[in-house]
Structure 1
Amino acid sequence: MDQGMELRGCVCRIKSSALELLSMEEDLMADLDDGLWDLVRRDLQLKATFLYIDLSRVVARSEKHREEIILLANNFFYYMDELGDAVASRSASVVKVCYGDVARVLREVVAAVSPPAAA
């Protein structure tokens, strides 16, 4: 497989996973019952796993902005861990703060891995 195509595929999946995570805001801010907290936690873990795999591939193949992507990815996974802990504790107020951090850094990650638009 062409490495450029694989990289584009990873970036596309990162963007798709980011959109899915960013669309979870309403679910995370809702008053969840006991069963839904566990489902949301597992969904977050699954999305983080896919993002980890694709971000690892992007970092391995990146020549430009590699250190920036690594730093942003590390921050993103730190905040995802914090969000996972908040969901596990079932604290809606802490989830809201942690989700805000995740969303902010995730947008930065997507911007860093996205190729610049053609002029």
Structure 2
Amino acid sequence: MDQHDHEMEQKGCLCRIKNCAIELLSMEEDLETDDEESWDLVGRDLRLKATFLCIDLSRLIAFCQGEEHKKALTVVANKFFYSMDELGDAVESRSLPLTQVRYGDTADALREVVAVLGPSL
């Protein structure tokens, strides 16, 4: 891969991260409905977003130039993925109060990721 290909891949990763972040941060009202169909839809949506974010953040971490930026992004990405796993478990448990708390934790962790990515987004 040449430099141009790397730049295009990075731009694609950043675009998907931005879109997933916007969608995830707007899911709060989706977590207010307590019926089987809603739980299933939210669970599938979270798994899909987590997959895209995992792949794209891993690629961006690999492309990081500065060691300090790479370390900072790795730390906040790991915190975010831990929160996503906890949110996924809460959705599986069908506990609305727990899901709402875990969603808040995940949203906060995602905001940290976005802050570290900063001007790139």
Would the TM-score normalized by the shorter structure come out above 0.5?
A: yes
Structure 1 segments of 4+ aligned residues over 6 angstroms from their partners: none
Contact 1:11 1:114 in 2 (8 A): no
- For 1:89, the equivalent position in structure 2 comes to 93
Percent identity, aligned pairs only, is: 59
Find out whether 1:10 has 2:3 as its counterpart. no
Residues 83-118 of structure 1 deviation map (CA, whole Å, 9 limit, x = unaligned): 00101111111011100110011011012123369x
Aligned length: 116
Deviation at 1:8, TM superposition (A): 1.9
In the superposition, relative to structure 1, how do residues 85 and 116 fare at CA in structure 2: closer, same or farther (>3 Å)? closer
Residue 117 of structure 2 is aligned with which of 108, 113, 118? 113
- Is the 1:58–1:113 contact (alpha carbons within 8 Å) kept by the matching residues of 2? no
Give 1:83's aligned amino acid. L
Decide which structure has greater helix share: 2
| One of 73, 84, 102 as aligned partner of 2:77 | 73
Q: Within 5 Å, give how 1:24-43 maps onto structure 2.
A: 24-28=27-31, 30-43=32-45
- Give TM-score scaled by structure 1 length: 0.90
Question: What's the TM-score once normalised by structure 2's chain length?
Answer: 0.89
